[in-house]
Amino acid sequence: QFVPVMCKSQILIIIIITLKGRKEAQGVRKRGARAWVQSFEEIPHTGKYGWVNLMKFWRQGYFRQLHKHMEGTFNALGPIYREHVGTQKTVNIILPSDIAELFQSEGRLPQRMTLKPWATHREIRQHSKGIFLKNGEEWRSDRVLLNKEVLMSSAVQRFIPLLDEVARDFCKMLQKKVEREGIGQKGKRSLTVDPSPDLFRFALEAICNVLYGERIGLFSSSPSLESQKFIWAVEQMLATTPPLLYLPHQLLLHIGASLWTQHATAWDNIFSHADARIQKCYRRLSSFQGQGSKAEAAGGQYPGVLGQLMEKGQLSLDLIKANITELMAGGVDTTAVPLQFAFFELGRNPEVQEKVRQQVRTSWALADGDPLVALQGAPLLRGIIKEVLRLYPVGITVNRMPVKDIILQNYRVPAGTTVSVCLYPMGRSSDVFDDPMRFDPGRWSSGKGGQRISGFRSLAFGFGARQCVGRRIAENEMQLLLMHVSDSRHEKVETRRRIISSTVISNSPLQVKGLQSFTLVKVADINMLQ
């Protein structure tokens, strides 16, 4: 009734606003607009029926290519989608702005999805649960105590020398192998080796030195068969976990399904090996009772995380065992796999390698032999680790359960929903990173030339209060090995031949000259992340 008194331009404005409203009603939204929020059920999804989706996962091999499935789904549905597979329901996201919203909603007691197969194993074997499997106040009280021993700067200063010792010995071991088995003239020998076994042994030797304050001898000519069995058990446990997350594992347990049996046996072997190490260390440290602190009685040497926890007596022995076992199990793949990819990328990016080498040499010259000072003066080492974990994350999701309703991409996500940050597609998204397929450690630098990347983009170790409790051990362990490799007078990594498929990196020799020289071969089957 007001149209007759309006001019044509006013009528045109009304028409434009009406059409815009219709587009929003059809689900076409401007990013960041929050005037109108859609319901949880309207979030794009991959199918409503969980068991139908589970069969699809089995048929199409998504359990072995979950990272690729996620990437393809984000490309098809946008930056947020729902997924219901078997018993598992999640909302998946990749944009840092949404991750920031999730972080702000985690509250004082952040909740993460419990890995039920792991929890069930603890329950049926009557093992205590470590912080990885806990939520609530029980988690917080244990976590605060562990933070003091593995995350705080004072703890890092204590265990850096132990990691540095292992990294130095690893390089010496490789050099002896080249001298003994290599071909060519003395001083210019070369050797082709598969890096995977050696790097897995390095990772286990390093984490054990930090946890127990003693070496286990994995660099000898005949390393312990028990230690190799432990590494196999960790690999088996990790391989059987993904499908069990989506299946009714209690039913599998009841019928004695082979998948569950393999998973439980792997954990049994992990606990058995860790228990033997813990008991040995316990007897050694107990012999120092009455001689002052365990560190003083041990000649002033750091007694390891286990010794520190035992001396303070704030956690029960059962809880110490549970957390030490989880740290030991999580400290192998977490570092061995990224190191293989670090060698791979340095091999095919010689200009990056040379920059790192020059920075490391300058830093060492100013560090007066202190490895911690040397690391602080070589930020490109941190950039390499971040860049490798961006492109090849060991764990492909970080999840939280918000304690209140939150709005993500203009959709309402109810409290208690499992929200997963999908690391692999985020790391390779052009919406998140400039030129994402380029290996550029300098992008993480905040100095001149750096891109000053904002928060919530480097999440391989999680975020907030529930970030990986062992991240400082892992980060420093990897950086120290790369530093010693780069510091060699003649050492150089070269990619001589590379064959990449959509599922594996196979037969990828990386020639490293300097230990006099050796070639790392077969960067293959590493979580199939390429």
| Pairwise CA distance, residues 483 & 463, whole Å | 26
199 falls within a domain: yes
pLDDT value for 360 = 95
The number of domains in the chain is 2
- Is a pLDDT exceeding 60 seen at residue 14? no
DSSP of 60-121, one letter per residue? HTTTTSHHHHHHHHHHHH-SEEEEEETTEEEEEE--HHHHHHHHHTS-SS------HHHHHH
State yes or no: pLDDT of 164 exceeds 60: yes
Is residue 71 in some structural domain? no
Percent of the chain whose predicted confidence (pLDDT) is above 70: 81
pTM (two decimals): 0.84
Task: Give the residue with greater pLDDT, 178 vs 110.
Answer: 110
**Domain shared by 27 and 171, yes or no:** no
pLDDT at res. 289: 62
Mean pLDDT of 313-332: 93
Say whether both 268 and 380 belong to one domain: yes
The pLDDT score that the predictor gives to residue 291 is 58
Asked if 220 and 31 touch (Cβ cutoff 8 Å), the reply is no
More confident residue, 406 or 9: 406
Long-range contacts of 49-58, Cβ-Cβ distance < 8 Å, separation of 24 or more: 49/84, 50/84, 50/85, 50/86, 50/87, 50/88, 50/89, 51/86, 53/83, 53/84, 53/85, 53/86, 54/85, 54/86, 54/246, 54/247, 57/85, 57/86, 57/246
**Lowest-pLDDT range of 186-190, 343-347, 353-357:** 186-190
225 part of a folded domain: yes
Look at residue 20 in the predicted model and tell me its pLDDT.
Answer: 37
Can you give the residue range of the structural domain that contains 420? Answer: 131-528
Does pLDDT of 468 surpass 80?
yes
Q: Is residue 111 part of a domain?
A: no
Q: Mind listing the pLDDT tens digit for each residue in 200-210?
A: 999 999 999 99
In this structure, the answer to whether residues 366 and 503 fall within a common structural domain is: yes
Q: What pLDDT does 281 receive?
A: 87
Q: Taking every pair of C-alpha atoms in the chain, what is the biggest distance, in angstroms?
A: 99
pLDDT the model gives residue 5: 36
Say which CATH number the domain at 440 has: 1.10.630.10
pLDDT attached to residue 183: 86
What is the distance between the alpha carbons of residues 253 and 242, in angstroms, rounded to a whole number? 16
Do 159 and 19 lie in one domain? The reply is: no
Q: Annotated binding site for heme: which residue ranges?
A: 468
Same domain, 31 and 152: no
**CA distances to 28, 158, 218, 433 from 438, in Å:** 32, 36, 35, 10
Q: Which residues are annotated as a binding site?
A: 468
Within a domain: 75: no
Q: Is residue 456 part of a domain?
A: yes
- Does residue 49 sit within a domain? no
Is residue 113 domain-resident?
A: no
Shared domain for 384 and 516, answered yes or no, is yes
Lowest mean pLDDT among 297-301, 382-386, 416-420, 435-439: 297-301
User: Beta-carbon neighbour count of residue 287 at 10 Å?
Assistant: 12
Task: Say whether both 401 and 296 belong to one domain.
Answer: yes
30 and 137 part of one domain: no
Q: 245-287, pLDDT tens digit by residue?
A: 888 877 888 888 999 999 999 999 999 999 999 998 888 887 7
Mean pLDDT rounded to a whole number for the chain: 82
pLDDT at residue 452 in the model: 52
Residue 35 pLDDT class (50, 70, 90 cuts): low
357-364, long-range: CB < 8 A, 24+ apart = 357/486, 357/487, 360/483, 360/486, 360/487, 361/486, 361/487, 364/483, 364/487
